[in-house]
Structures are given as structure tokens and as C-alpha cells.
Amino acid sequence: MDTIFAEATPPGKGGVSIVRLSGPQARAIAARLAGDLPASHQAGTRRLRDGDDAIDEALVLAFDAGRSFTGDETVEFHLHGAPVVVSRLSAALRKHGARQAAAGEFTQRAFLAGRLDLTQVQGLSDLLAAETEAQRRLAVQNASGLLGKRATEWREALSEAGALLLADIDFPDEDLENGLIDAALERIVAVRESIEATLAGSAAAEIVRKGFQVAIVGPPNAGKSTLLNRLAGRDVAIVSERPGTTRDVIEVRLDLNGAAVSLFDTAGLRDSDDVVEGEGIARARRTAEAADLRIHLSETGEAQAGLLCPGDLVVTSKADLHPGDGLRVSAQTGAGLDALVSEIGERLAQRIAGAGVVAHEMQRDRLARAARHLREAERSGAEFLAEALWQAIHELEALVGRVDIEDYLDLVFSRFCIGK
Amino acid sequence: MFHVKHEFDVIVVGAGHAGLEAAAAAVRLGRRVALVTLSRDDLGALSCNPAIGGVGKGHLVREIDALDGLMGRLGDAAAIQYRLLNASKGPAVQGPRTQTDRALYRQAVSGAVSAMSGLTLVEGEVSELVLSGNGVQGVRLADGTVLKARGVVVATGTFLGGVIHIGNDQRPAGRWGGAAADRLRHQFAELGLPKGRLKTGTPPRLDGRTIDWAALPRQEGDAKPVYLSFLTEITANRQIACGVTQTTEHTHDIIRENLGRSALYSGNIEGAGPRYCPSIEDKIVKFPDKSSHQVFLEPEGLDDTTVYPNGVSTSLPDEVQLAYLRSMPGLSSVEMVRPGYAVEYSFVDPRSLRRTLEVAGFDGLFFAGQINGTTGYEEAAAQGLVAGLNAALRAQGRPLFEFGRDQAYIGVMIDDLVSRGATEPYRMFTSRAEYRLSLRADNADMRLTPLGLDLGCVTEARRLSFERKHDEMARGREALRTTRLPAAETENGETPTRPWTTAYEALGQGDGVARVAEHGARPEISQAAWEALCAEACYAPFAERQKKEAEKLAVGRQVSLPPAESLIEIPGLSIELRHKILAVRPATLVDAERIEGMTPAALALLLIQARQKSAA
Ligand SMILES: Cc1cc2nc3c(=O)[nH]c(=O)nc-3n(C[C@H](O)[C@H](O)[C@H](O)COP(=O)(O)OP(=O)(O)OC[C@H]3O[C@@H](n4cnc5c(N)ncnc54)[C@H](O)[C@@H]3O)c2cc1C
Ligand SMILES: Nc1nc2c(ncn2[C@@H]2O[C@H](COP(=O)(O)OP(=O)(O)OP(=O)(O)O)[C@@H](O)[C@H]2O)c(=O)[nH]1
Ligand SMILES: [Mg+2]
């Protein structure tokens, strides 16, 4: 069983973040960061360090196996809230062999250990809904993004390598061309290098760096640009009483109660014959679809039906002109803005707990493990190479889809004339 | 006329490789067994290429042998050439293979059969299964005789709805000379067992006296043979070499010109054939750029002039077969003993079986061999062993037995069959085994003989020899683990973590065997035990990891899930996942975990559903 960790508190909220670490290596890993650990069910302050780097001064709680939430050894770190502290700790935990938990994994372990009753786990359903939604969005992002393209290439190269190894191992009596293993190795090294490059620089890191994306959508003149300016605290977008003012997508980066957010102002949605406006509207839709959260803003309190996802915010604008109940804001008077900001924070926190960035981080973990499997096997024989390939593909499954022996066989039989 | 004539514990229908192994297993468990077959001559017939073993297939033979089955010993008794395939690779993917003498094999089989006390050989055609409710009671023969037993193994091979195709000629038959027995097929249909259609083919046979051997390169066997059976210690027969020839452009022209006359290309055949055993027609159509294909000329026996040309199975008319044969080097004046042909046959969808090979819903009724959609002697024999053991256990009222994917290739094969079915004749490949590094031909005895001892299907002689080797290995392992050698230099100049390694660890590294010997650390144990230890050490780090994985799976496999229909009611599951659950119909948590797109949270919900259902 792996040792897993996850942030137990919604990120960026309040003064304290709790990171939970659980599994057979939990105490050992924690001890490497904290020096020694308090006795089971005791708390103590420890200075957490990762080698020479200080992470934080934290409150540490340890639980012995059999006496914890999951039934396994568990250690909780209560950190000073800043997201950067959490990510520093995550990096250190990962380095020592723990991995980011998948959504629901703690609960699953707890349930399997008989530590939860049914009512306590019903919440999983909601989590699952959020998770599927987040995964769907992630899939859309990945498929259109750089990572998606690379994943397709990786899949192809790894399947080919697998097919070459299969041909070499399982058909030794056939009169096949020489150098199958070298050809497989060439593909494996290329994939491994590409994964490492991806990890080191661009794609994955960029996704994580991008933060949460929140798009304001609505009909023209709803007050979208005004709201963006108000939340940003400066005049970023042009405001006018003419409908159809905004054409391009405008992005501002904000710190909403500690969470990094990219806020997008978009063109008002309507049928338009104007080519430029039409393009603006198309961009607005794309931005809205790719965003993690949408604020549907209108004077009537209606949502854009085609873009509405579960968990979106539907907000009435110009509350000074349209008084009433529900989520209403006036960009002019500032009424309702605090409530809106805290709603956004709330949603984001749910998403983080659900998947969102977690999924990204998990992917990073998996990519790293896949690369390691491949690297370790590069200098050994065919059967080890095939084994490593198997493991790597398993890690990449979420990204590249499942590769099955039948896929290998298809490739082998289309490429080689095999059989007696 | 209904009269009970004989009572048995187990009845095996069919005396091919599956049936033979099934009967032998039931006999080893002390059962009274009836082995019913159309003709005595079918006993242990090698219908096609008289070769046994190979990569994957050799693994199966060793596993059968480890459980004291027949195939390995019979193969060794008839072997006229040994080759260890993949000898240049690691032991995990090495496979022992033999070329056997068809007549000697048959002789060995009849010797083995007459040595089995408790076995009754019945020559006849089974026309019907005798069922009551959802249990089996016995079989009825075409002459009206009824044989009774609590366990029945159906191992009738290709005899169900078999049709032979040679060019445009078609005739019913399972194998050359066999009479098609398809009355049973109708009964299977009535029982609601789904079936499918497959095809396979065989090349023409040549008269070896008409081959110009001197003009052809030869392929010799290994100088130091690796036997099929763990018990074999000496080579039984004179060893021979095979000839090697190849197709020419002229051969390809002849075949291309006559494609329309091939049963395969005239649309007479609907069954799917194996991709790894294409006919020569297929090879030429699918790989037009390849100007030549290798053909091995394998003598079928020491005193037999028949030669099997490996690589040219076909369903072209006789005269075309002869013409293309004569276009190959060394065969210019060859005579054909028998033409090649394609066979189409029905099989029972193995997804209606359990991992015990018992038909789901019919106690005591087992299916084994080619009738389950597999191809190959070894695949058939391995299933026969499982079905025979379980039929005997069923007759004894003992719990049935199944192999895990982490235990044996046999387990991999059966799991593949019952969970995925067969879309082409199923053949064993090592790449099908995810625990390939642990499931080796060299350690089949260490993996399975203890299981066989528990089941009671391993006889005394094997027990003794197994225990001797086991103890020697334990002694050797201990000695190697407590001997320290200086650490090997690392390739990239990194400092090793400690200045020494144990001899056991060293053994698993590149030049380990030589280093251990150099330091005089080779323990004083038999060569067999020593070689087994070398292989074991080579994969030790992986074995550890695979063992942990397997343990985790074992826990999950114990959790059975409610039917798919109730699983998909779970709120929150995506539509996609629902579709997949309906399609895959996971029986256990492990099955569910394997579904693409399954997440831990979704899995937890399935689990909750399972507990709720079982509590309700
Ligand atoms: C043309 C051809 C070529 C092949 N080539 C190869 C090859 O090169 N290498 C390889 O490994 N495998 C080959 N195979 C496959 C291999 O022969 C089979 O997979 C294997 O022999 C199947 O064994 P079995 O025991 O399931 O059935 P079989 O060996 O077919 O045995 C069936 C038995 O059932 C008996 N029987 C059938 N119906 C009845 C009945 N109603 N009552 C009583 N008895 C009955 C028959 O008498 C026979 O003894 C080939 C098969 C064919 C048909
Ligand atoms: N009374 C009142 N007027 C507002 C408020 N917010 C925006 N307005 C006015 O509404 C008009 C449109 O505002 P914008 O922010 O440009 O609207 P938009 O939704 O960005 O419009 P497009 O870019 O055209 O889609 C401007 O004249 C704003 O001054 C508000 O809260 N109260
Ligand atoms: Mg605007």
C-alpha cells in the first residue's frame, strides 16, 4: 500500500492548513521532516525541514496504526495557511516516497478499515460528482493542450515499443528483422526524455501555475466589465453604455482571500452579424467552457443555459436598480461584492478538495513515476524493459488511456508476418 | 431403452490432449474415470505439428508437469529434437520446446493410459448429456448406453460442427479421418450455451524421401537439451535436425494466380482464424513486399518419412499445393502425402464458464480444450488438467479449485477466457501474463507442486524429487545470503551504498554467476537447484513487488459486488462509467478497479453499495 497525503482543509482559507499523511510509511516519512514525532494522539510543535530548507514551524499530530481515521499510521501537519507552505511540504513528502491522494482515497481507506459508517461516507457522492466534472474539464483542457498532444505521441511510441518487445519475446522462432529491442529502446528513451522535459518545464507546471480560472459571462451590457474593474480595483476593461463593448477576453490575476485566481471578462453573448463581435463571442464561449468556474451575470438573474455547469454562480447585476433576494451585486455601490467574493472562494475550495489542481499534481506524480520506471529499465534485458513499460503505461493510463496486449498484438500482426 | 450400465465418479468426453489430461488428473485423485472417445486411434493424436512447448506454451507444459500431469513426460519420451527458445534472454521468457516423434508419442500415451488404474476407456460417441435440473448425471452414448457420474468433462475439440475446406471442396469432419459429432452441439444450444465459429488450418504433408535434403541448410537441436519435465534426466531418443527452405517469387506467383480457388478467399469460411497462424495465402496477400517466407521441414518421426512443412498452411486445391511446394528450394520433385486444409468449427463461449471451468449454473459440467476457443495442445492439456481436477473434487464433494493470474499461466489463460471470451483461437503468449517475471518455466515446480500436494494429485516419486530440490535450494539460498562479496563497480562511477553485496544479490546482477563462482561461493547443491536459484535471484526484487501487488488484489477479489444493474443506480457516477459497468459487469472489486476511468471515490461508492446489498 502506498503512503498518501492530501490537504485536509480547503486551500487558501483561514489561518491554518492541515495536511494529512497516511499509510505504512507515514511515521517514517514524517520523522524525516520533523526529526522526532509526538506519541500517538499527542500534538507537538516541530520545525519541519526538507534537508537544509525550512518548510514551516508546524503543529504535528501522530496517530498509530489501528488508532487513526484510515486505520493506518497517520500524521497530521497543521501549517501556517499560505499555499506556498503547503506546496513546499507536498514536494518534500513526495520526495520521500509519499504520493498525492486521489480524491476520496482517504475516505475509501477509512471505510475499508471499518472506520466510517455509511452516513459518514454519503458525502462521497457529491465529491464524485465534482470530481467527474473536474476530470471532464481537465480532459478537455488536456486534449486541446500541449499535454494532450504529447500524451498521444507517448501512447503511440510506447505501444509500438511494447509491440516490438512482444514480437521479440513471444516469437523467437520467427524470421523477424534484427534489432527489435534496440528499436523498442529508442522509442522508450524518447518518451522518457519527453516526459522529463514536460515535467521540468512547460506543460504540467504551467497548468499548475495558471491557477483557477473564473469567467464572467452574460448578455451585453450586463455590467461584466464594470464588475471586473471593481474586483480588480483598477480600470482594466473599457466600460460603456453601448452593448457589445468588450470584444477580446480580458484577464486579471487576483488574490481572492489567499487563492490565486485568473478572472476573465468576456464579450456579451448575443446573436451578432458583426464579424469582429462574432469572433469575440466565440472566444467568450471558449474561455467560459475551459474555466473552472463561471459567473453568470445579468440584470435579470438568468444563466447562460448552454454554458451552465453544476456549481456555477448565477448573479444579478446592477442591484442598485434591481433590488431583491439572492446573489445580487452592484458594481456601482459595492453592495453584494463581499458576498460574491466569499462565494467564489467557497466554490474554489470545493473544487480543490474535489480534483482541480489535485488532478494536475497527481498527474505530475504519475509522470515522474513513469519516467523513473523507464529510466531504471533502460540498461536491462527485454523482459525487464517490457515490465517497466507495463508499469509506465499503467501510470500514464489516465493520460494516454489503457494499452492492452490486444493493442500490441494488433501492431505486431500488422507489421510482421508471423506464423507458421 | 433406458438402462444404467456403469457408474463412475468422472466421465471425460474426448481423448485429445484436454481429455487425456483431465482423465489422468481425476485418476490421480483416486476417482473411477470413464474416458469416452470416438476412436481409440484418437488417443493423444498430435493432429498437426508434432512439436510441444515453446515460449508461453513451454510454461504451460512445465505447470502441467509440476502438478504431475502427463504432457511433459510424454513429450520427453517422444522427443527427437530439443530447443530452448529465447536461450539468449532471461529465464523468465525462456521456453523449452521439443520436436516429437508422432508414433513414439502415441506409444507413450497408450503406455500411460494402460498404467492408470481406475480408468475405463470407452470407444463410442457421446450423443447426449444426462442432466437433471441444473446438475449433470452422466452421458448417453449413440448406442443408447448410459454412463453415470457426478462430474462430466466435455473435451471434444473441433468436433462440434467441424467442416473441412480444401479449395472448393467441403466436407464435415473435425480432423482428417474423424467423423463429425455434432449432435451434442444441438444440446448445448438447448442449454443456452452461446457459441461462436473459428477456423484453423494445417499444411500439406510431404514425403521425406522426395526432398533433396543435401541442398538445404539444417537446423540442429541444442547440444545440451532442456527437458520438458522436471523429472526427466536423460534424452530418450536419437536426435534429428530439421531442414530449412523458403518460398520464392515463383511460389508467390502461383499462389496469387490461384487465390480465387482458396476456401479462405472464396468466402466459404465465416469463422475467424488466428492472426498468429496465417495461411500462406494470407501471408502473401497481407505482406506483398516480402519476397520470401521461411519454411521449416520437420520430420514427423524417426522411422516416419512424413515431413511437416512448418509455415505453409493452406486451403488451396491439391494440385495448386503441389505446384507451389515444388517451387521451393529442395522440393522440386517433392511428393505430397496429404494435402493441407482449413477447418472451421464451433466453440462454446468460455464466458459461460467459471474459473473452475465448470459451466455457470450446471453443477458438475466442465468444458476443456479447443471447444473453449483455444488452440494448441498445451493450452488444451492445461485446461484438461483443471477441469479433470475439479470434476474429481466435485465428485468427492470437496471445494473446487481455481488458479490466480499471479500463480500460473494456467490461471492467466483461464481468466482471459472466462472474462474476455475468444475472438480468435486463443494461444498463450508470455506477454499475456502481468506477473511474467515471477511465473517462469524454471520455477513452475516451486510454484505449483505444493498446491498439487495439497490437492492430492501429486504422486510419491514427484513429491520426493520436489522436496529434495526444494531443500537444496533453501540450503543454497541461505548460504548465498550469508556470504559477502566485494561490491561490484558501478558503471557510472557512483560509489556503491555499501562496500559489499551478498552472494545472493550478486547472483542477480549481470556477471553475477561468474563472480560467485570466482569467489568460490557456489553452494554444493545439484545443478538443477543451482540453476533455479540463479533464475530466482535474477528476478528477486521484482518478485517482491509483484507479490505485494498480488496480495492487494487478493483482498479486493474477496469483495464481490452486486449486479451491474444495481451498481449503476449509485448517484454521482458519470454516464460513461455507468456504460462501462454495464458492459464489463464487474463481479469483484478488482474487476471494477480495472475499468478504465474508475476512480477511488467511485470505487468506494461501489463498495458501499456492495455492503448495503449484503446487509439488506
Ligand atoms: C487442422 C488443425 C491444425 C492444428 N495445428 C496445430 C499446431 O500446429 N500446433 C498446435 O499446438 N495445435 C494445433 N492445432 C490445435 C490442436 O490440435 C488443438 O488445439 C488441440 O489438439 C485440442 O485438443 P482437445 O483435447 O481440445 O481436442 P482434440 O484433440 O480435437 O480431441 C477431441 C477428442 O474428442 C473426441 N470426441 C469428439 N466428439 C466426441 C463425442 N461426441 N463423443 C466422444 N468423443 C468425442 C474425439 O474422438 C477426440 O478424441 C491444430 C488443430 C487443427 C484442427
Ligand atoms: N446602475 C448601475 N449601472 C451599472 C452597473 N454596472 C454597470 N453599469 C452600467 O451598465 C453599462 C454597461 O456596463 P459594462 O460593464 O460595459 O457592461 P458589459 O456587460 O461589459 O457589456 P459588454 O461589454 O457590452 O458585453 C455601463 O453604462 C455601466 O456604467 C451597476 O452596478 N449599477
Ligand atoms: Mg464589457
Ligand 1 atom, smallest distance to B127 CA: 41
Pairing of strands B306-310, B205-207: antiparallel
pLDDT of res. B313: 87
Contact between B101 and B80 (Cβ < 8 Å): yes
Instruction: Give the DSSP H or E segment for A394.
Output: helix A382-400
- CB of B275 within 8 Å of any CB in chain A? yes
With a cut of 50, say whether residue B177 has pLDDT above it. Answer: no
pLDDT of res. B413: 97
Q: State the SS3 of A115-128.
A: CCCHHHHCHHHHHH
Contact B430 A170 (CB under 8 A): yes
Nearest CA among A92, A91, A130, A124 for reference residue A109: A124
With a cut of 50, say whether residue B158 has pLDDT above it. Answer: yes
Q: Which one is predicted more confidently, B272 or B493?
A: B272
Question: Distance, CA A221 to ligand 2 centroid (Å)?
Answer: 5
Of A131-135, A260-264, B532-536, B543-547, the least confident: A131-135
Q: What is the rounded CA–CA span in Å between residue B86 and residue B153?
A: 35
With a cut of 60, say whether residue A20 has pLDDT above it. Answer: yes
Q: Which one is predicted more confidently, B239 or B551?
A: B239
Nearest CA among B226, B225, B112 for reference residue B459: B112
pLDDT of res. B509: 81
Residue of chain A with shortest Cα separation from B290: A417
Cell 466569499 sits on residue? A342
Contact between A73 and A23 (Cβ < 8 Å): yes
Contact B429 A402 (CB under 8 A): no
Give the mean pLDDT of chain A.
80
pLDDT band at A358 (very low <50, low <70, confident <90, very high): very low
Select, from the ranges B38-52, B307-321, B464-478, the one with the highest average predicted confidence (pLDDT): B464-478
Residue B366 has φ and ψ, to the nearest 5°, of: -120, 150
Q: What is the DSSP string of B555-567?
A: HHHTSBPPPHHHH
Q: What is the rounded CA–CA span in Å between residue A130 and residue A354?
A: 6
Instruction: Give the DSSP H or E segment for B337.
Output: strand B336-338
pLDDT of res. B191: 82
Question: Distance, CA B559 to ligand 1 centroid (Å)?
Answer: 38
Q: Whose CA is nearest to atom 26 of ligand 2?
A: A241
pLDDT of res. A349: 63
Strand segments, DSSP code E, in B341-466 are: 341-348, 365-367
How many beta carbons lie within 10 A of that of residue A154, not counting itself?
A: 25
Task: Verify whether ligand 1 is closer than 6 Å to residue B245 (CB atom).
Answer: no
* Average pLDDT over every residue of B138-162: 90
Q: Which three cell numbers stand for residue B212?
A: 533433396
Question: Distance, CA A346 to ligand 3 centroid (Å)?
Answer: 26
Give me the residue from B90, B294, B431 closest to A381, CB to CB: B90
pLDDT band at B257 (very low <50, low <70, confident <90, very high): very high
Beta bridge partners of residue B123, listed in sequence order: B37
Which amino acid belongs to residue B26? A
Beta bridge partners of residue B365, listed in sequence order: B152
With a cut of 60, say whether residue B60 has pLDDT above it. Answer: yes
Q: Which one is predicted more confidently, B452 or B609?
A: B452
With a cut of 80, say whether residue A127 has pLDDT above it. Answer: no
With a cut of 90, say whether residue B517 has pLDDT above it. Answer: no
Q: What is the rounded CA–CA span in Å between residue B64 and residue B409?
A: 10
pLDDT of res. B523: 92
Chain B residues closer than 8 Å to A1 by CB: 552
Tens-digit pLDDT profile for residues A284-300: 998 998 887 899 999 99
With a cut of 90, say whether residue B492 has pLDDT above it. Answer: no
Q: What is the rounded CA–CA span in Å between residue B113 and residue B303?
A: 23
pLDDT of res. A143: 47
* Average pLDDT over every residue of A219-247: 91
pLDDT of res. B591: 80
How many beta carbons lie within 10 A of that of residue A4, not counting itself?
A: 23
Question: Distance, CA B209 to ligand 1 centroid (Å)?
Answer: 28
Give the mean pLDDT of chain B.
88
Question: Distance, CA B351 to ligand 1 centroid (Å)?
Answer: 21
pLDDT of res. A354: 37
pLDDT of res. B33: 97
Nearest CA among B377, B387, B409, B425 for reference residue B17: B377
Tens-digit pLDDT profile for residues A304-317: 988 887 778 999 99
Q: What is the rounded CA–CA span in Å between residue B519 and residue B485?
A: 8
Give me the residue from A118, A131, A409 closest to B599, CB to CB: A131
Chain A residues closer than 8 Å to B309 by CB: none
Q: Which one is predicted more confidently, B606 or B428?
A: B428
Q: What is the rounded CA–CA span in Å between residue B501 and residue B484?
A: 6
* Average pLDDT over every residue of B120-143: 90
Q: What is the DSSP string of B411-427?
A: HHHHHHHHHH--SS-B-
Q: At what angle do helices B377-396 and B17-28 cross, to 10 degrees?
A: 30
Contact A172 B86 (CB under 8 A): yes
Tens-digit pLDDT profile for residues A49-79: 888 878 888 889 998 988 887 888 999 998 8
Residue of chain B with shortest Cα separation from A384: B437
pLDDT of res. B350: 93
Residue percentage of chain B with pLDDT more than 90: 57
Residue of chain A with shortest Cα separation from B203: A420
Q: What is the rounded CA–CA span in Å between residue B164 and residue B95?
A: 32
Contact A103 B599 (CB under 8 A): yes
Beta bridge partners of residue A18, listed in sequence order: A78
Of B191-200, B238-247, B448-457, the least confident: B191-200
Instruction: Give the DSSP H or E segment for A74.
Output: strand A74-80
* Average pLDDT over every residue of A214-239: 92
Number of helices followed by number of strands (H, E) in chain A: 14, 11
Residue of chain B with shortest Cα separation from A104: B601
The radius of gyration of chain A's CA atoms, rounded to the nearest angstrom, is: 25
Give me the residue from A121, A129, A169 closest to B86, CB to CB: A169
Residue of chain A with shortest Cα separation from B548: A1
Instruction: Give the DSSP H or E segment for B65.
Output: helix B57-66
* Three-class secondary structure of residue A152 per DSSP: helix
pLDDT of res. B186: 76
pLDDT of res. A418: 63
Q: What is the rounded CA–CA span in Å between residue B309 and residue A225?
A: 81
Ligand 2 atom, smallest distance to A226 CA: 15
pLDDT band at A220 (very low <50, low <70, confident <90, very high): very high
How many beta carbons lie within 10 A of that of residue B118, not counting itself?
A: 16
Task: Verify whether ligand 1 is closer than 6 Å to residue B184 (CB atom).
Answer: yes
Q: At what angle do helices B600-615 and A105-112 cross, to 10 degrees?
A: 30
pLDDT of res. A259: 59
Give me the residue from A105, A132, A379 closest to B574, CB to CB: A132
Tens-digit pLDDT profile for residues B386-429: 999 999 999 999 999 999 888 999 999 999 999 888 888 999 99
Contact between B124 and B36 (Cβ < 8 Å): yes
* Three-class secondary structure of residue B72 per DSSP: helix
Task: Verify whether ligand 1 is closer than 6 Å to residue B181 (CB atom).
Answer: yes
With a cut of 70, say whether residue A128 has pLDDT above it. Answer: no
Chain A residues closer than 8 Å to B577 by CB: 132
How many beta carbons lie within 10 A of that of residue A16, not counting itself?
A: 12
Pairing of strands B151-154, B10-13: parallel
Instruction: Give the DSSP H or E segment for B186.
Output: helix B183-190
Q: What is the rounded CA–CA span in Å between residue B10 and residue B27?
A: 9
State which of B130, B370, B417 you would mutate to test the pocket of ligand 1, scoring each by most atoms of that ligand within 8 A of its C-beta.
Answer: B370
Of A202-206, B270-274, B550-554, the least confident: A202-206
Beta bridge partners of residue B83, listed in sequence order: B97
Residue percentage of chain A with pLDDT more than 70: 77
pLDDT of res. A124: 56
Tens-digit pLDDT profile for residues B85-106: 999 999 999 999 999 999 999 9
- CB of B244 within 8 Å of any CB in chain A? no
Nearest CA among A258, A306, A141 for reference residue A296: A306
Residue A95 has φ and ψ, to the nearest 5°, of: -60, -35
Tally C-beta pairs within 8 A across A and B: 137
Chain B residues closer than 8 Å to A310 by CB: none
CA dihedral sign of residues B591, B595, B599, B603: negative
Q: What is the rounded CA–CA span in Å between residue A348 and residue A213?
A: 10
With a cut of 60, say whether residue A141 has pLDDT above it. Answer: no
Best probe of the B interface among A155, A173, A178, by most B CBs < 10 A, is A173
pLDDT of res. B477: 95
Q: What is the DSSP string of B201-249?
A: EE--EEEGGGS-GGGS-EE---SS---SSTT--S--S----EEEEE--H
Supply the pTM of this predicted model: 0.73
pLDDT band at A208 (very low <50, low <70, confident <90, very high): very low
Q: What is the rounded CA–CA span in Å between residue B298 and residue B310?
A: 7
With a cut of 90, say whether residue A201 has pLDDT above it. Answer: no
Contact A107 B542 (CB under 8 A): no
Contact between B316 and B283 (Cβ < 8 Å): no
* Average pLDDT over every residue of A270-280: 89
How near does any CA of chain A get to the CA of B462, in Å? Answer: 30
With a cut of 80, say whether residue B176 has pLDDT above it. Answer: no
Q: What is the rounded CA–CA span in Å between residue B441 and residue B453?
A: 19
How near does any CA of chain A get to the CA of B276, in Å? Answer: 5
Tens-digit pLDDT profile for residues B305-314: 999 999 898 8
CA dihedral sign of residues B169, B174, B175, B177: negative
Nearest CA among B181, B135, B240 for reference residue B37: B181
Task: Verify whether ligand 1 is closer than 6 Å to residue B449 (CB atom).
Answer: no
Number of helices followed by number of strands (H, E) in chain B: 19, 24
Interface of B with A in 484-503 (CB under 8 A): 491
